[in-house]
Amino acid sequence: MKTLRLALVALIGIALLVSAWQGPPAVAQENVNKAIDEKFSKYDEKLPLWSIQPGTAPRMIELTIYFNNMWFGAQAGNWDLARFEAYRSEETIKGVYVVRPKRIASLKPWAESALPALIKAIEAKDKAAFEKAYDTAIAGCNGCHVGSSGGPLKSMAAFKITRPTAPLFSNIDFKGR
Helix (H) or strand (E) holding 163: none
Q: Can residue 130 be called a binding residue for ligand HEC (CB under 6 A)?
A: no
**Contact code string over 26-65 relative to ligand HEC, x by CB under 6 A:** -----------------------------xxx--xx-xx-
Closest CB to ligand HEC among residues 102, 177? 102
Q: Can residue 70 be called a binding residue for ligand HEC (CB under 6 A)?
A: no
Smallest distance, Å, CB 110 to ligand HEC? 4
Q: Can residue 159 be called a binding residue for ligand HEC (CB under 6 A)?
A: yes
Closest CB to ligand HEC among residues 39, 94? 94
Q: Can residue 141 be called a binding residue for ligand HEC (CB under 6 A)?
A: yes
The three-state secondary structure class of 3 is helix
The CA-to-CA distance between both ends of the chain, in Å, stands at: 96
Please name the amino acid found at residue 138: I
CA distances from 38 to 26, 35, 98 (A): 18, 5, 13
Among 74, 82, 107, 117, binds ligand HEC (CB under 6 A): 107
What does 34-96 look like in DSSP terms, one character per residue? Answer: HHHHHHHHS--TTSHHHHTS--HHHHHHHHHHHHHHHHHHHHTT-HHHHHHHHHHHHHHHHHH
List all residues 6 or more positions away from 92 whose beta carbon is below 8 Å from its beta carbon: 59, 62, 63, 66
Count of positions on this chain that bind ligand HEC (CB under 6 A): 24
Residues that bind ligand HEC (CB under 6 A): 55-57, 60-61, 63-64, 67, 103, 106-107, 110, 137-138, 140-141, 144-145, 148, 150-151, 156, 159, 161
